[in-house]
Amino acid sequence: MKDHVLRAIAHFGSQSALAKATGLSQAAVSKWVRGLDRVSPRSAIAIQRATNGLVTKEQLCPDIFDDASNREDQQGAA
């Protein structure tokens, strides 16, 4: 998860910029980076939206959002 958070931070240039883009606090972002807290499902969705899918909710909360269901949806649309 930390790598995905770092990718989102890199996308925006700083923890503060990611926080602003998602409506979250910089302190929350810092806690994720330091491993003091987990990204909540609500925050994961906000990050996915803010990064236009560069970082997905499944990557941030794999125990909540099952990536397999997304693959099945994509295969059915093909």
Q: What is the 3-state secondary structure (H, E, C) of the chain?
A: CHHHHHHHHHHHCCHHHHHHHHCCCHHHHHHHHCCCCCCCHHHHHHHHHHCCCCCCHHHHCCCCCCHHHHHHHHHHHC
- The residues near 29 (Cβ < 8 Å, ≥ 6 apart) are 5, 9, 15, 16, 18, 19
- pLDDT at 77 exceeding the cut of 90: no
In tens, the pLDDT along 7-37 reads 999 999 999 999 999 999 999 999 999 999 9
Query: What pTM was estimated for this model as a whole?
Result: 0.82
Q: Which homologous superfamily does the CATH classification assign to the domain defined by 2-77?
A: lambda repressor-like DNA-binding domains (1.10.260.40)
pLDDT of residue 1: 79
Domain range annotation of the chain: 2-77
